[in-house]
C-alpha cells in the first residue's frame, strides 16, 4: 500500500471543513501547528490500495507571508511537499478563489480543484464548464457539494491520479515581459546554489524575491549567490513588480472566466437586500440587540426542562449512592465530592449546548459577520476590532470557548486584550450564584440585580480593555477587514457539528479539571478524620479562618472565604461549597433560609459577594486556556492577579455604598 | 472619468475603480488576495461614517475607515 499526502487548501468559508469532515469522517486528529495557535487537523482514509493522509491547511486568501495562517499553509506546501494539494474553490466566487490557485500552482505542486458549493452556483443559474476550466488551467477540476457529500470519490480519484503522474508541466501565470525577463535572470543565478534549487521551486522563489517578500529574502540571505541576487534586485522596484504581478494574475483570471462561466440572470441579490436592512445605520443596532436578547431568552427557556431532568437524575443518583455504598466516608466521597462537584457543572450542559447551537446557527447563516461590522465602531471606541465581540458573546456561555474564539483576531495585541478581558464577561457558571443570592436577598428585584451584574461585567471588560490599551499593550487596533459571506440557510448537520465540538470541550472540562477540584474540596472538607464534613474544624475551615482577615473588609466571613477559594475550581462550585458549609445541601430554598438566618449576611454583603464572584480570578479551566492561548504563564498569572485586585476593590466599594441605596445593612 | 478620492468618502450605491492602494506592503498584498487591487471594480454597498461594505466581483467585505481611507478610487463615469 502506498501512502499519499493530500493537503486541503482554500479561502476561508468555502466549505473546506465540511469537505474535510465528509472525507475523513471521525478519523481525525486535531492538534496545533508547531509554534502557533493555528489548529492543525489531519485524517486518514484507505482507498483502493492507497493510504491517504488528508491535512487541512488553514483557510487563506493568498499565500504571501502576512499572517500566521498564510505562513503555515505556505510553509507546509513548500517544506513538507505534499503529494497533491486539493484546493477547495467556492464556485459562486471563482475570481477571488482562482487568485489563490495561481499562487499554489506557482509552488510547483500538483493541484486538484474541488469546485465546491456547486449546488449554490447552479441554483443561482450559473453554469461552469469544468472541462474547459480544467484545460485552461491545466488542473483537474472536480464538482463537489460538501454538505451532501457529492463528488468525494471523484475528488479522491483525481487526487490520487495527480499524485501519481510523475513530472508536471508548469502551469503558472506568465507575467509581463520585463518581469519574466527578471525572473529568468534570477532563476539563472539561483540555479548555481544546488541546495536552494533542491529545496524550493526556483520560479516561485524568484517571483517572491521580486516582490520583496521578507520570508523569501531570508531564504537566500545565507546562500553564496546572495550578492548576485542583491545586485539584480537593486535594479528594480519591488512594489512596482508586486503590483504588476497581482495585476497580471487577475488579468489571466479575467481572461479565463468568460470562457468557462455562463452567469445566470442576476436578479436583485437577496444577500444585498438583507444587508441593507441589518447593517442600516439606525436599524442595525436594535436588530442586533433584539437577536441577542432572543438568543438568551431562548437559551434559558429551551434548556429549562433539560436542566430539570438532569437535576432530578443527579438527585436520584445521590440518593442511590447514599443508600447503597457501605463505608460512610466513601458514600460521602462519591455523593458529596464527585456527584456534587461534577453535577454542579453538568446541569449547565443544556444551556451551553443551546447557546452554542444558536450562535453556530447565526454564524453559519452569515449574520455574525454583519454583527461584527455593526459592532466595529463601538469596539473601535474601546480600542478593539469588531471581530473581538464574538469571543465576548461566546463568553456569556463559557469563557473557555470564548477565549479560544479569539484566535480569529489578527493583531497579536488585539488578541491578547480580547483574551484578558473575556473572564469579566459573566459566564453561565456564575449565574447560579447570582440566582441564589439575588433570590434570597432581593426578592422581586432579583432580575434587575442580575441584569446589573451582567452590565457591570461588560463595563469591567470595556474599562480593562481601555486600560490595557493605554498601558501594557499600547497601539492602534489593527484595521478591520472581514468577508461578509452570502447569507446561507445552514444545514442542521453543520450547525450541530459546530455545537458539538464546542460543547464537548465544556463537558471535558467538567470531566477533568472540575472533578479534580471537587476531590480536593472534598478532602479539605473531610480531613482531619472524624470532623464533621465542612465544619469549622476541618482543613477547609482552617483555611477559611486563615483567609478571613483578607476578605473581612468586604464583610465576608470564613465560610464565604472557603467558598470563594473553591470557586477557583469553577465558579458554580461556590454554591455547592456554601451548601456544604451551611449544612443545607444544594437545595436552593434551604440554603436561602440559612443565609437569611445568618446575622453576618446582609443584602449589601450579598451584593458585594456577587460582584466579587463576577470579577475575581477566572476558573481553573479558563486559566489553563489563557495559558494555552497566550503561550505563557505570565499572562495567565496576570489575569489571576488583576481579577483579584479588581474584584476586591469593586466589592469593597459596592459593599460600602450599597447600604445607602437598599436601606441599611 | 471622475477625480481620485479615498474609498471611504463614497456614498452607498456608488461604483468605482481602484486607482491605488496607499498602504504598507503586508496590507497591500493582503488586499490583493481579496481582489482589492488597482483596476478592480468595487461597489459600495453600505457606508456608515467611513466604515463600508464593498463588493468586488462576487465577494463582499467590511472595511474599517482606516483602510478605506488608504484605498484611492476613481468614480465610474
Ligand atoms: N450550498 C452549499 N453549502 C456548503 C457546501 N459546503 C459547505 N457549505 C456551507 O458553507 C458554510 C461554510 O462551510 P465550512 O466548511 O465551515 O467552511 P470553511 O470555512 O471553508 O471551513 C457552512 O455553512 C456549510 O454548511 C456546499 O457544497 N454547498
- Burial (CB < 10 A; 0-12, 13-18, 19+), residue A297, is exposed
C-alpha dist (Å) from residue A330 to A323, A528, A575, A619: 12, 15, 22, 27
Query: Could you tell me which residue, A5 or A432, shows the higher pLDDT?
Result: A5
pLDDT tens by residue, A193-251: 888 888 888 888 999 898 888 888 888 888 888 888 888 888 888 888 888 888 888 88
Does B51 sit within 8 Å of A480, measured CB to CB?
A: yes
Interatomic CA distance for residues A372 and A383, integer angstroms = 14
Residue extents of the structural domains in chain B: 5-75
Domain B5-75, CATH among 2.30.30.90, 3.40.50.300, 2.40.50.100, 3.30.365.10: 2.30.30.90
Does A64 sit within 8 Å of B48, measured CB to CB?
A: no
Name every protein residue with a CB atom under 6 angstroms from any ligand 1 atom: A 12-18, 59, 116-117, 119-120, 145-147, 364, 488, 490-491, 494
* Burial state string for A339-374 with b = 16 or more CB within 10 A and e = fewer than 16: bbbbbbbbbbbbbbbbbbbbbbbbbbbbbbbbbbbb
Q: What residues of chain A lie within 8 A of the CB of B62, using their CB?
A: 369-370, 372-373, 376, 386, 480-482, 484
The domains of chain A, with CATH numbers, are 2-163 (3.40.50.300), 177-239 (1.10.287.1770), 284-477+494-662 (no CATH)
Q: Which of A146, A155, A484, A488 to mutate to test the pocket of ligand 1 (most atoms within 8 A of CB)?
A: A146
Q: Which three cell numbers stand for residue A506?
A: 465544556
Q: What residues of chain B lie within 8 A of the CB of A250, using their CB?
A: 35, 37, 39-40
CA end-to-end span of chain B: 5
Interatomic CA distance for residues A221 and A209, integer angstroms = 11
How many angstroms away from the CA of B4 is the closest CA of chain A?
Answer: 18
* Burial state string for B7-26 with b = 16 or more CB within 10 A and e = fewer than 16: bbebeeebebbbbebebebe
Q: Kindly tell me if the per-residue pLDDT of A35 is higher than 70.
A: no
Helix (H) or strand (E) holding A550: helix A539-551
CB-based contact, A369 to chain B, within 8 Å: yes
Choose the mutation target among B64, B67, B71, B72 for the interface with A, i.e. most A CBs under 10 Å. Answer: B64
DSSP E strands in A500-634: the ranges are none
Cβ pair A12, A483 in contact under 8 A: yes
Interatomic CA distance for residues A551 and A548, integer angstroms = 5
Cβ pair A108, A136 in contact under 8 A: no
Three-state secondary structure readout of A175-204: CCHHHHHHHHHHHHHHCCCHHHHHHCCHHH
Query: Could you tell me which residue, A94 or A591, shows the higher pLDDT?
Result: A94
Interatomic CA distance for residues A188 and A412, integer angstroms = 39
pLDDT tens by residue, A380-401: 778 787 778 888 888 887 788 7
CB-based contact, A385 to chain B, within 8 Å: yes
C-alpha dist (Å) from residue A231 to A183, A189, A200, A306, B56: 14, 11, 21, 72, 38
Position A665 scores a pLDDT of 39
ipTM: 0.89
Position A645 scores a pLDDT of 92
Q: Which of A10, A11, A15 to mutate to test the pocket of ligand 1 (most atoms within 8 A of CB)?
A: A15
List of residues 6+ apart from B13 with CB closer than 8 A? B43, B44, B45
For chain B, the residue count is 77
pLDDT tens by residue, B29-41: 888 889 898 888 8
How many angstroms away from the CA of A427 is the closest CA of chain B?
Answer: 29
The DSSP output letter for A425 is: S
Amino acid at each position: 500500500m502506498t501512502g499519499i499526502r493530500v493537503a486541503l487548501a482554500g479561502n476561508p468559508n468555502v466549505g473546506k471543513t465540511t469537505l474535510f469532515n465528509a472525507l475523513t469522517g471521525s478519523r481525525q486528529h486535531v492538534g496545533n501547528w508547531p509554534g502557533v495557535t493555528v489548529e492543525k487537523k489531519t485524517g486518514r482514509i484507505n482507498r483502493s490500495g492507497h493510504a491517504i493522509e488528508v491535512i487541512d491547511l488553514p483557510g487563506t486568501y493568498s499565500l504571501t507571508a502576512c499572517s500566521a495562517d498564510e505562513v503555515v499553509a505556505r510553509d507546509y506546501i513548500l517544506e513538507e511537499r505534499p503529494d497533491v494539494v486539493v484546493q477547495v474553490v467556492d464556485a459562486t466566487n471563482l475570481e477571488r478563489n482562482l487568485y489563490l490557485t495561481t499562487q499554489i500552482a506557482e509552488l510547483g505542486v500538483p493541484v486538484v480543484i474541488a469546485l465546491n458549493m456547486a449546488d449554490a452556483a447552479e441554483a443561482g443559474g450559473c453554469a461552469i464548464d469544468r472541462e474547459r476550466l480544467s484545460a485552461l488551467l491545466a488542473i483537474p477540476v472536480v464538482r463537489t457539494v460538501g454538505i451532501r457529500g457529492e463528488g468525494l470519490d471523484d475528488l479522491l480519484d483525481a487526487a490520487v491520479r495527480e499524485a501519481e503522474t510523475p513530472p508536471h508541466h508548469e502551469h503558472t501565470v506568465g507575467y509581463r515581459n520585463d518581469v519574466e525577463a527578471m525572473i529568468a535572470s534570477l532563476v539563472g543565478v539561483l540555479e548555481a546554489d544546488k541546495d536552494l534549487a533542491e529545496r524550493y521551486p526556483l520560479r516561485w522563489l524568484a517571483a517572491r524575491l521580486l516582490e520583496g517578500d521578507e520570508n523569501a529574502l531570508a531564504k537566500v540571505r545565507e546562500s553564496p549567490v546572495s550578492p548576485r541576487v542583491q545586485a539584480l534586485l537593486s535594479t528594480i522596484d519591488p512594489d512596482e513588480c508586486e503590483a504588476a504581478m497581482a495585476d497580471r494574475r487577475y488579468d489571466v483570471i479575467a481572461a479565463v472566466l468568460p470562457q468557462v462561466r455562463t452567469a445566470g440572470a442576476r436578479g436583485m441579490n437577496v444577500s444585498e437586500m438583507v444587508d441593507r436592512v441589518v447593517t442600516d445605520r439606525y436599524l442595525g443596532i436594535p436588530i442586533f440587540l433584539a437577536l441577542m436578547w432572543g438568543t438568551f431568552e431562548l437559551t434559558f427557556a429551551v434548556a429549562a426542562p433539560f436542566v430539570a431532568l438532569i437535576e432530578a437524575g443527579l438527585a436520584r443518583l445521590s440518593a442511590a449512592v447514599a443508600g447503597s455504598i457501605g463505608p460512610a466516608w466513601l458514600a460521602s466521597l462519591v455523593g458529596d465530592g464527585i456527584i456534587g462537584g461534577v453535577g454542579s457543572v453538568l446541569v449547565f450542559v443544556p444551556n451551553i449546548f443551546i447557546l452554542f447551537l444558536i450562535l453556530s446557527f447565526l454564524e453559519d447563516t452569515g449574520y455574525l459577520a454583519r454583527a461584527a461590522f455593526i459592532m466595529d465602531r463601538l469596539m473601535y471606541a474601546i480600542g478593539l476590532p469588531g471581530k473581538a465581540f464574538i469571543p465576548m458573546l461566546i463568553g456569556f456561555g463559557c469563557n473557555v470557548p470564548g477565549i479560544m474564539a479569539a484566535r480569529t483576531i489578527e493583531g497579536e495585541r488585539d488578541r491578547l486584550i480580547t483574551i484578558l478581558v473575556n473572564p469579566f464577561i459573566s459566564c453561565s457558571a456564575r449565574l447560579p450564584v447570582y440566582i441564589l443570592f439575588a433570590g434570597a436577598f432581593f426578592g422581586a428585584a432579583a432580575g434587575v440585580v442580575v441584569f446589573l451584574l451582567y452590565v457591570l461585567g461588560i463595563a469591567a471588560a470595556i474599562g480593562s480593555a481601555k486600560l490595557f490599551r493605554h498601558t501594557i499593550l499600547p497601539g492602534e487596533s489593527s484595521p478591520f477587514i472581514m468577508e461578509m459571506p452570502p447569507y446561507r440557510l445552514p444545514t442542521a448537520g453543520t450547525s450541530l457539528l459546530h455545537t458539538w465540538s464546542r460543547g464537548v470541550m465544556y463537558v471535558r472540562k467538567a470531566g477533568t479539571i472540575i472533578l479534580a477540584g471537587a476531590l480536593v474540596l472534598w478532602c479539605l472538607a473531610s480531613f482531619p478524620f472524624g470532623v464533621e464534613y465542612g465544619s469549622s474544624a476541618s482543613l477547609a475551615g482552617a483555611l477559611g479562618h486563615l483567609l478571613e482577615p483578607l476578605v473581612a473588609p468586604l464583610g465576608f466571613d470564613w465560610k464565604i472565604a472557603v467558598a470563594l477559594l473553591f470557586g477557583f475550581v469553577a465558579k458554580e462550585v461556590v454554591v455547592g461549597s456554601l451548601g456544604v458549609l451551611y449544612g443545607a445541601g444544594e437545595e436552593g430554598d434551604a440554603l436561602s433560609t440559612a443565609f437569611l438566618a445568618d446575622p453576618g449576611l446582609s443584602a449589601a454583603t450579598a451584593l458585594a459577594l456577587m460582584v466579587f464572584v463576577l470579577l475575581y480570578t477566572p476558573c481553573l479551566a479558563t486559566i489553563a486556556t489563557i495559558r494555552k492561548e497566550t503561550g505563557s504563564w505570565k499572562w495567565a498569572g496576570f489575569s489571576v492577579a488583576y481579577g483579584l485586585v479588581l474584584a476586591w476593590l469593586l466589592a469593597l466599594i459596592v459593599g460600602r455604598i450599597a447600604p445607602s441605596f437598599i436601606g441599611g445593612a | 472619468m471622475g477625480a481620485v478620492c479615498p474609498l471611504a468618502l463614497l456614498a452607498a450605491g456608488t461604483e468605482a475603480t481602484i486607482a491605488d492602494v496607499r498602504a504598507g506592503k503586508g496590507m497591500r498584498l493582503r488586499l490583493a488576495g481579496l481582489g482589492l487591487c488597482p483596476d478592480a471594480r468595487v461597489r459600495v454597498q453600505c457606508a456608515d461614517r467611513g466604515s463600508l461594505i464593498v463588493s468586488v466581483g462576487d465577494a463582499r467585505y467590511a472595511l474599517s475607515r482606516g483602510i478605506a481611507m488608504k484605498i484611492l478610487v476613481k468614480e465610474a463615469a
